[in-house]
Amino acid sequence: MSRLIKSCITLLSVICLTVSCTEPQLNNHQAVVIGLDSDVTTLNPLYVSREAEANISELIYLALVGYDWDSEKGEVISYPLLAKKIEWNGDSSSVLITIRDDIKWSDGDKVTTDDIVYSFDLYSDPKVQSRFYGIFNNYYLNQDLSIDLEKTFKIISPTRLEIKFKPNVPTSTFDFDMPILPKHLFKNIKREELATSDIGFKPIGSGPYILDKWDRNQSIQLVKNAKSVLVNGNTIDKIIFKVIPDYNSRINQLRKGEIDITENISPEDMRDLKSDNDIVMIARRGREYDYLGLKNVGSEKENQGSNQLFGNKNIRKALSFALNRESILKEYLLGNGELMTGPIAPIFKSSFNSDLISFKYDLQKAKELLQNAGWKDNDGDGVIEKDGKKFEFTLSIPSGNPLRNYSATIFQNNLKAVGIDVKLNTLEPAVFFEKMFNKELEAWIAGWMVPIPLDLKPYWYSDTQIAQANVYGYKNLRVDWLLDNLEKKLTKSEYANTLREFQQIIYDEQPALFLFWIDNIVGYNKRIKNMKINPLGAVQKCWTWELAQ
Amino acid sequence: MKNFWTIFRKRLFSTALILFLITSFIFLLLRLAPGDPTQRFLSPELSPLLLEKIKKSFLLDKPLLEQYLIFIKNIFSGEFGISYNYRIPVMSVIWNTLPFTLIFATISFSLQISISLLLVFFISQRRNSLLDRLLGKINLVFYSIPTMIVGMFLIFIFSLQLNLLPMSGLHSIDFDNASVWDKLINYSVHLILPLATLSLPGIIVFYGYLRNNIDEVYKRSFVLFLRSCGENEKIIFRKHVLPNSVEPLISVLGTELSILLSGTLITENIFGLPGMGRLIVDAILTRDYPLVVGCVFVSAILVIIANTVADVVKVNINKRLASEYFE
């Protein structure tokens, strides 16, 4: 029997050694492996919803324009992709687009202006239910919110197209930056069935990469599209997205060189990985932030005399002073972030109001503000009260987010120090977000990502039919006016001034307690050259990446 | 095989009823639980109108009773609808993960039985030795270590430190061009650590059960009788003690096989394997109702089959039980 066991162990060792020698080493190949936390569900640009899906789909389907980040000016700049020339008329109410005549779909057909019009038709069609449905506000629309094709598009030739917009709306390349779809393939599928058709799994695009293999829940492999004008001899042959659900495994594989790039690395791991000579760590200054939301903030006028706990802006300011955000930034984020003053990130240099200074942790000031508002601890139980009502509330957080969990515990202690009793409640994300959007939570910690282009209306407009992310119930007529104004044509200085005033009001009223801008920490193998990591993301313009020899 | 079909036929009605009740229960439970499958379309950047359209296309705008009737109609026509996440028929999504789960579970199950039996054989010749006593003591310790820790430990040793085995995945990324033999080796090597992680607790449990059962059987009078007749100790063990010790274990084996077939979430997650465990948990977390019901239905069938197989094995080992099943 012991002989049998010895034989088993020897056999196992031989297999291990043999295979460790035969295990392919990707470093020797012209391939880059990107770690993903979960598989993508579709590559059909009509339905991609997650960032990873959009990143992959944009490598396969080209848009008319692409974007870069100008870190000097702190703003997005566009560059032509499918388009060769973009000519705006005097008042920017129409644009003449000339597309490149050397771009083909990966099945060999030419990309024409007909494909462009057809793509916008699909994106705006209610039957298709694409992710862009209902957002073509600058276009001439039919009653069902689909684009009025006749009024909007004029095909001049297979390479020239004119797009006409509604008058007096602020138009830009953001109005037509969606990926372009091949009409000759999509038109064969019933519009109602596009969501379930297998065109999302067998994409034919015009981009620099084509789908080579999709191994469900394992990897997605893209290969260089040799016919694309964007690629050259130095372009990386293969971009592989490898699904690794476990965070620790992703980090270990980055260390071991089994993957080349991974995002959302914890600050603690960043510290360890920095010592690895093969890995470059970048804390991408971001547009993602965490905030502490409060229920029924309302408007100052509405709240006069009401007993809404968070209706008084001085109470909200007191809470802002009471939260020790600095300690979280220093101890948990290890400095990979920035304290907030409002919902516009400092990276948007031309829009950011730099005169505002973030609320510093000041318990004395918090106590004073609460006392002035009539909240005092009369019965000596450590909890302040007013008109017999104790200052206590439940702070909810979604499970599975260690930062929010840590912050909630710190804040609970901070608020206890000023006499506020906070109970913590952790909810499963699906339940948490349902309750948050239904305005059923008393207070909560969540986060947003500031969209590009900057769009503040969905978050801060009083009408919650328009602003579905105004979960705090914030109302301010001046803010509404400013946000409406941003949708008109403004000069650069008018635009900047409007945003400055908006930020000042939000700062003064604290409708939400702004916590910190959180850096997205990216780690990549130093063999990748020309990689640009900026607020637009890490996985972008992969066709410009090169591998060190 | 004849026994299997006889037992299966006898249970056909109750099996169909159980499947119907389980799926109906899950359907209602999901609808009554908090959470909304269209939540991920509720985003500041997407139009609120899109949410309404999607709710309508998922039939979530209809009353619960109407949704249930449509669901029942679909079940009887062998469909579970379209997965909300994947936007393809539920059965196609399940079919992508089911073969792996079946193969992985079967290999792990076979390993658990064979290694625990080997250990028992080995120890039975050294009863009350130091090793026997040591295994008896550390049994509980090993069993109480969470799978996640075992997996991380194995990765740390064999992948990170010794660089012998791959950390995750079912095969190497660029294995398409490899020969059949190389592919087989590639698969095998990728499965060594997951199988070790998954099988270790099972081996310990089966070993513990068998070891205790063997002790109990040795105390029985028929063993004393055989010894007094001068029967060889090895023959007593192989022909009399072992078969009598294995029988109580069969039900435990049936349960273990059912658990394995329903998916092994933690192992799949750590090693990035495409199994049913990950699929069902993701479906629950994102409230993909049709996919959850489909997964539960398939898992229930697998559990019923595993238990039926366990009963058949029991009948074959102990003929006296046959009267319970066949009368």
- Beta-carbon separation of A134 and B48 below 8 A: yes
The reply to whether B38 falls in a domain is: no
Structure tokens at B180: 């059949």
Domain boundary among A176, A203, A230: A203
Is the pLDDT confidence value at A25 over 50?
Answer: no
Determine which helix (DSSP H) or strand (DSSP E) holds A12, and give its type and residue range.
Answer: helix A2-22
Listed by number, the residues of chain B in 75-94 with a beta carbon closer than 8 Å to a beta carbon of chain A are 82, 85-89
- What's the pLDDT score for residue A15? 56
What pLDDT, on a 0 to 100 scale, did the predictor assign at position A26? 45
Average pLDDT over residues A129-140: 90
Looking at the predicted structure, is the pLDDT value of residue A4 above 60?
no
**The predicted structure's pLDDT at residue B233:** 82
The answer to whether residues A198 and A228 belong to one domain is: no
Taking only residues 39 to 68 of chain B, the set having a beta carbon closer than 8 angstroms to any beta carbon of chain A reads: 39-50, 53-54, 57
Position A331: which residue type?
A: E
- All residues of chain B having their beta carbon less than 8 Å from the beta carbon of residue A258 are 166-167
pTM of the predicted protein model: 0.86
For residue B173, the model assigns a pLDDT of 81
What are A231-274's pLDDT values in tens digits?
A: 988 899 999 999 999 899 999 999 999 899 999 999 999 999 99
CATH number of domain containing A199: 3.90.76.10
Q: Is the pLDDT of residue A213 over 50?
A: yes
Residue A21 — pLDDT band, cuts 50, 70, 90?
very low
B25: pLDDT strictly greater than 80: yes
Over 70: is that where the pLDDT of A117 sits? yes
Domain final residue pick, A203, A231, A266: A203
A186 and A43 in a common domain: no
Please state which of the ranges A307-311, A329-333, A357-361 shows the lowest mean pLDDT: A307-311
**Within this chain, do residues A196 and A220 fall inside the same structural domain, yes or no?**
no
Chain A environment of B44 (Cβ under 8 Å): 448, 451, 455, 458-459, 467-469
Please report whether residue B44 resides in a domain.
no
Q: What is the pLDDT of residues B149-198, one digit of tens each?
A: 889 899 999 998 888 999 888 888 877 778 888 889 999 999 999 999 99
pLDDT, position B256: 81
DSSP result, B87-132: -SBHHHHHHHHHHHHHHHHHHHHHHHHHHHHHHHHHHHTTTTSHHH
> How many Å apart are CA A501 and CA A510, to the nearest integer?
14
Residue B124 is assigned to a structural domain of this protein: yes
Residues contacting residue B34 through CB under 8 Å, at least 6 positions apart? A430, A431, A434, A435
**A300 pLDDT more than 50:** yes
Domains of chain B: total: 1
Per-residue pLDDT at A129 exceeds 80:
yes
Q: Give yes or no for B153 touching A (CB within 8 A).
A: no
Q: How confident is the model at residue B237, as a pLDDT?
A: 83
Mean pLDDT score, A333-343: 94
Termini Cα distance of chain B: 18
Same domain, A113 and A33: no
pLDDT at B210: 86
- Range of B314's domain? 90-326
Stretch among A211-215, A400-404, A439-443, B173-177 having the lowest mean pLDDT: B173-177
Q: Which of the listed residues A145, A178, A203 is the one where a domain comes to its end? A: A203
Note whether A98 and A181 are same-domain residues: yes
Residues of B in contact with A253 (CB under 8 A): 167-168
Q: Percent of chain B beyond pLDDT 70?
A: 94
Task: Residue B48: name the closest of A539, A467, A91 by CA.
Answer: A467
Least confident of A499-508, B33-42, B289-298: B33-42
Rounded Cα gap, residues A251 and A271, in angstroms: 12
Say which of A133, A213, A256 has its CB closest to residue B167. Answer: A256
Of A179, A185, A174, nearest to A206 (Cα)? A179
- B248 CB near a chain A CB, below 8 Å? no
Residues A126 and A88 placed together within one structural domain of the fold: yes
What pLDDT, on the 0 to 100 scale, is given for residue B175?
A: 78
The first and second tokens of residue A453, run together, are: 């282009």
Provide the CATH number for the domain around residue A19.
Answer: 3.40.190.10
Which residues of chain A neighbour B164 with C-beta distances below 8 Å? 16-17, 19-20
**pLDDT above 60 for A37:** yes
What's the pLDDT at A94?
A: 94
Contact B42 A129 (CB under 8 A): no
> Could you say which residues from 90 to 119 on chain B have a Cβ atom under 8 Å away from some Cβ of chain A?
96-97, 118
Are residues A374 and A364 part of one domain? yes
Mean pLDDT of chain A: 90
Mean pLDDT of B55-82: 85
Asked, for residue B224, whether it belongs to a domain, the answer is yes
> Is the pLDDT higher at A42 or at A14?
A42
Instruction: State mean pLDDT over B71-77.
Output: 83
DSSP output for A329-350: HHHTSTT-EEE-SSSS-TTSTT
Q: Which of B40, B271, B287 sits opposite A49 (nearest CB)?
A: B40
- Indicate which CATH number applies to the domain containing B209: 1.10.3720.10
A154 plus A34 within the same structural domain: no
Question: What pLDDT shows up at residue B64?
Answer: 87
**B43 falls within a domain:** no
B176 touches chain A (CB under 8 A): yes
Give the relative orientation of helices A492-509 and A313-322 as an angle to the nearest 10 degrees: 80
A368 & A423 share domain = yes
Question: Within a domain: residue B182?
Answer: yes
Arithmetic mean of pLDDT, A300-304: 60
Q: Mean pLDDT across chain B, nearest whole number? A: 84
Angle at A512 between CA A508 and CA A514, to 5 degrees: 85
Give the model's pLDDT for residue A274.
92
Q: Which residues of B touch A146 (CB under 8 A)?
A: none
Q: In angstroms, how far is CA B235 from the centroid of its own chain?
A: 34
Q: Say whether A218 sits in a helix, a strand or coil.
A: coil
pLDDT over threshold 80, residue A55: yes
Indicate if A331 and A295 belong to the same structural domain.
yes
Question: Considering its fold, how many domains does chain A have in total?
Answer: 3
Assembly ipTM: 0.80
Does residue B61 lie within any of the structural domains? Answer: no
Model confidence at A16: pLDDT above 60 = no
CATH number, domain containing residue A515 = 3.10.105.10
- Count interface pairs A-B at CB distance under 8 A: 176
Q: Does the pLDDT value for residue A27 go beyond 60?
A: no
> Are A447 and A538 in a shared domain?
no
Range of the domain at A410: 286-519
Residue-wise DSSP of B271-289? HT---HHHHHHHHHHTT-H
Q: Which residue has the higher pLDDT, A25 or A409?
A: A409
pLDDT at B324 (0 to 100): 61
Q: Check A19 against B172: CB less than 8 A apart.
A: no
pLDDT tens track for B270-303: 898 988 888 998 899 889 999 999 999 998 888 8
Angle at A436 between CA A432 and CA A440, to 5 degrees: 105
**pLDDT score, position B62:** 87
Tell me: do A313 and A235 sit in the same domain: no
